Amino acid sequence: MNCRHCGVSLDCVFVDLGFAPISNSYLERRDLQRPETYYPLKLFVCSRCRLVQTQDCTGSEDHFRYDYAYFSSTSSSWLRHAEEYSSMITKRLGLGKNSLVLEVASNDGYLLKNFVSAGIPCLGVEPAGRVADAAEQLCVPVLREFFGAELGLRLAEEGRQADLVIGNNVYAHAPDVNDFTAGLKAVLKPGGVITLEFPHLLNLIRFCQFDTIYHEHFSYFSLDAVKSIFYSHSLRIWDVQELSTHGGSLRVYGCHLDDPRPESASVRTLLEKEKQYGLHDMQVYKDFSSCAERIKDDLVMFLIEQKRGGRKVAAYGAAAKGSTLLNYAGIKPDLISFVCDAAPSKQGKFMPGSHIPVLSGHVLQQFRPDTLLILPWNIRDEIVSQHSYIRQWGGKFAVAVPVLEFF
């Protein structure tokens, strides 16, 4: 296998999480008696450009089907994040009625609805039909296809180059990162700005966030790697912000290579931070696996102890993070009775691989778990606030990443 960006042969394993089904392939009850397809969940790091990437085994079409179950608007904290971004970027770039905002992977309109309400023309690109339906109900225009160089060039030829191109947590979803970036280049108007948000590889390593690894995330980015990818497509990064979302993300601001915007000092500062942490040292990547194994072992031992003691454990958040953790640890319904989730699209189904049922949060009052394991730890505060009543019967919350913690 060769690096999906620079083409160098890959021989350094970052982590091997075994075999797992696609993380968002939730099962109906009738599916439980049928075979599931498992794929290797193994990551490599490129010795040249230091891009961390999955072993090639699935394509975008395997993940983003009509029934794709992830709706961005389910999380109230993410909606606030989107509102704050929309207000900030509108003022910073002076966007108005003569501008065009393009969002790649616009999901259910969670972000673009803010531009619609402000009277700023916008366009979403979203291949997953169900979430695109939801966006259109909010008056967000949507192109139902995958984004890449072909679409970017077509939009440019149609006179629909954008003043602002947004990609929130989509860059990792591109199996061909070069084709995707070429699309960004093509669709960006001269003088326009790209903003991409993605989980920061430095935090993934530092806090052992191995459960953010799943098949639909083909690449895992440092600023250094994105800078290299952008430059190879005549783009450059002129500003960067560190965010708290998804366990620590970056928001990079890109422009055409010949754009006169000065480069912010924050770019140089963060590149140096990555270097000081060791992201130029291949040994840092090779050491990651042992951390994932520790988390797995600690969680499994805890769950076995709870079972032997007659204590009840449920989980909250049927997210992709949960699928990775549950499958890597081999956890089944005998250790975790069910997973609650606020998304109706997931309720009544079963987690892929583990076959743990997904239920509405309303069942917690009846079941009264001793421990509620929060799987999407990045929104733990939101979940604790919504379900603090479990403390009335002595229930506790827990997270497994980066260390097993109770509160």
Please give the C-alpha separations between residue 75 and each of 138, 204, 378, in angstroms, as whole numbers.
17, 21, 11
Per-residue pLDDT at 66:
56
Per-residue pLDDT at 61:
57
Q: Pairing between strand 405-406 and 396-399?
A: antiparallel
- At 134, which amino acid appears? A
Cβ–Cβ contacts within 10 Å for residue 309, how many?
A: 8
Per-residue pLDDT at 59:
60
Per residue in 26-45, pLDDT tens? 999 999 999 999 999 999 99
Three-class DSSP labels, the chain = CECCCCCCECCEEEEEEEEECCCCCCECHHHHHCCCCCEEEEEEECCCCCCEEECCCCCHHHCCCCCCCCCHHHCHHHHHHHHHHHHHHHHHHCCCCCCCEEEECCCCCCCHHHHHHCCCCEEEECCCHHHHHHHHCCCCCEECCCCCHHHHHHHHHCCCCEEEEEEECCHHHCCCHHHHHHHHHHHEEEEEEEEEEEEEHHHHHHCCCHHHCCCCCCEEECHHHHHHHHHHCCEEEEEEEEECHHHCEEEEEEEECCCCCCCCHHHHHHHHHHHHHCCCCHHHHHCHHHHHHHHHHHHHHHHHHHHHCCCCEEEECCCHHHHHHHHHHCCCCCCCCCEECCCCCCCCCECCCCCCEEECCCHHHHHCCCEEEECCHHHHHHHHHHCHHHHHHCCEEEECCCCCEEC
Per-residue pLDDT at 72:
82
Per residue in 267-314, pLDDT tens? 999 999 999 999 999 999 999 999 999 999 999 999 999 999 999 999
Per-residue pLDDT at 213:
98
Residues of the chain predicted below pLDDT 70 = 58-69
Per-residue pLDDT at 105:
96
Chosen CATH of 288-406 out of 3.40.50.720, 3.40.50.970, 3.30.43.10, 3.60.15.10? 3.40.50.720
Per-residue pLDDT at 225:
98
Per-residue pLDDT at 68:
60
Please give the C-alpha separations between residue 60 and each of 42, 112, 141, 218, 378, in angstroms, as whole numbers.
17, 23, 22, 10, 25
Residues in the chain: 407
Facing residues of 359 across strands?
A: 340
Per-residue pLDDT at 75:
85
